[in-house]
């Protein structure tokens, strides 16, 4: 009984942010994309439960919300790490050896093309197409910060800085 109560309370807390976002957009079906964008920004990804909840709340079938979520590459249906490294794989960055940076990050974090998120859910590494900053190639975006003319060494230094900062906040 106690366990069920705790689970329900956790679920309500979990959905608080979704409710706030749905309310902001007036539960309006035509605002589905901005709703999903904000929900993803809050939770880092769109879980099955949240997709169903959003669909029911705005009165559309879950398949419709899935359709939108899978159509746009921007949306993720998989959980992502707290810190997201996005490495540009556009032509200009590719020519400037963005691949060596990707390999260095994979090696540092034990990741690969098949496994993009660390087990502790701290880091996700992914590639993206041209970020529109080719003059700075190769380009990497970490969370909200843009790094131009990045090298494997600089990329690893960014990982180390984040690990150190996380240790300090954990104290």
Binding site for ligand FES (CB under 6 A): 88, 90-93, 130-131, 133-134, 137, 139
CB of 124 within 8 A of CB of 160? no
Nearer to ligand FES, 110 or 148 (CB): 148
Q: With respect to ligand FES, which residue has the nearer C-beta, 28 or 91? A: 91
Question: At its nearest, how many Å lie between ligand FES and the CB of residue 130?
Answer: 3
How far is Cα 102 from Cα 86, in angstroms, rounded to an integer? Answer: 9
Backbone angles phi, psi at 145, to 5 degrees: -95, 135
The CB-of-116 to ligand FES minimum distance in angstroms stands at 19
Q: Tell which residue, 89, 87, 106, has the closest CA to residue 150.
A: 87
Least distance from ligand FES to the Cβ atom of residue 37, Å: 22
Shortest Å, Cβ 90 to ligand FES: 2
Coil, strand, or helix at residue 142?
strand
Nearest of 34, 33, 41, 37 to residue 64 by alpha carbon: 33
For ligand FES, give the closer residue by CB, 8 or 91: 91
């Amino acid at each position: 009984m106690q366990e069920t109560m705790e689970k329900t309370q956790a679920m309500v807390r979990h959905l608080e942010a979704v409710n706030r976002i749905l309310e902001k957009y007036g539960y309006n079906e035509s605002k589905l994309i901005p709703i999903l964008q904000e929900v993803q920004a809050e939770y880092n990804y769109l879980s099955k439960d949240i997709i169903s909840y959003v669909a029911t709340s705005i009165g559309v079938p879950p398949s419709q919300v899935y359709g939108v979520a899978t159509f746009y590459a921007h949306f993720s249906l998989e959980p992502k790490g707290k810190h997201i490294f996005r490495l540009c794989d556009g032509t200009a960055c590719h020519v400037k050896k963005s691949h060596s940076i990707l390999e260095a990050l994979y090696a540092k974090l034990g990741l690969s093309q098949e496994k993009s998120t660390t087990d502790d859910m701290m880091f996700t590494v992914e590639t993206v197409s041209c970020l529109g900053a080719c003059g700075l190639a190769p380009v990497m975006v970490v969370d909200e910060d843009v790094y131009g003319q990045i090298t494997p060494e600089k990329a690893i230094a960014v990982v180390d800085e984040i690990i150190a900062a996380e240790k300090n906040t954990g104290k």
